[in-house]
Amino acid sequence: MKKPIFHGLLLSFLFLVTISLISCKDEEENPTGDPTNLTVEVTLPDEGPGVVVIHATADNATEYRLYVGSSTTAAATNTSGHFEYEFPLAGTFQIEVRAYGSSGRYIKDSRQIVLTDEDPITIGEGYTTPLQYDGYQLVWNDEFDGNVLNTQFWSYETGAGGWGNNELQYYRPENTSVDGGVLTIEARKESYSGSAYTSSRLVTRDKKTFTYGRVDIRALLPKGQGIWPALWTLGNNITTVSWPACGEIDIMEMIGGSNREKTVHGTLHWENNGHAQYGQSYTLSSGIFADEYHVFTIIWDETTIKWYVNDVKFNEVDITPGHMTEFHLKQFFIFNVAVGGIWPGNPDATTVFPQQLKVDYIRVFQKN
């Protein structure tokens, strides 16, 4: 009778050992409390900007966080992994989903989403100016016809290094395009040759240079914190006399963000025992300069330079003093979109990329 009792005890012991081994095995599968196997599904709106639905799942996850753009602060946090985030504007955006485990560590999945604008601003919207004026003749223009940049007129300036203003972009030709009668310079958030952003900078140096005349540039401006489009000139002798002795005429500059996209600036820079400058600004009564095309003009003669937006004058400078000889010599044009810098500040989480400067035409008239 004792043998069956011993046998039963042995079986019970083996059963308990087996249960203990199975339990240890389960614990050893993820002894750290780290999450695993993160999957993310992204559903875009049917058209244009709107609500993007993001659903994430992961094993052993106790919390999920959604990050948008370059922000280091989570846009949303929950335990379900389900997010609905509204993007009010078109553009290219970076999102990152993190799944956290009980260990406090996380795994992540980053995605790029592209929301297109279903109602883009057309070349026919906004102010326009004529091809002729009384007392003037058209001496040069670029209407940006065809599908390539006219390199008989324009050259690319390339590279990074801040461009004297702590700017963040790398200038390269790939960010320029011509199509539908419009020149487009596109600022992008992308890593290239050590820079976090790319853009383009075009110049007419040694190709198309002018002294005096009326200049009309019809353009649609970009927007966003840290975006800095400019239509301007420098003296063609800059390589011999340097800046600011060469002179600089800022026909139009705009700095984006902080409710500043309704204002443009017209400024002169010159040498007068050091750097001298003078400028004024023009502010729209409603809307911003990204809403439609506007015409930015200077009328430059032997005595003054005057600035206009849509034929409304907002600045005038007397250039007859002897210390302003720079503005009686040839100047060349520059079109560019900078990203970041001392004046506008850097992009932030609200900045939508890509951003585009679109130019319909540039026309130079001189007196008969």
Active site positions, annotated: 248, 253
**Which residues are within 8 A (CB) of 331 and not within 5 positions of it... i.e. 6 or more apart?**
209, 210, 211, 233, 234, 235, 236, 247, 249
Compute the C-alpha angle 275/171/260, nearest 5°: 60
What does the block give as tokens for 272? 């007068």
Cα distances from 202 to residues 170, 177, 181, 256, in angstroms, run 13, 11, 17, 20
First to last CA, the chain: 130
Residue 113 CB coordination number (10 Å): 16
**Which residues are within 8 A (CB) of 25 and not within 5 positions of it... i.e. 6 or more apart?**
none
Residue with tokens 């032997």: 302
Rounded Cα–Cα distance for residues 362 and 202 (Å): 13
Dmax over CA atoms of the chain, in Å, equals: 130
Do the beta carbons of residue 292 and residue 286 sit within 8 Å?
no
**Beta strand 263-271 pairing with 248-253:** antiparallel
Do the beta carbons of residue 125 and residue 180 sit within 8 Å?
no
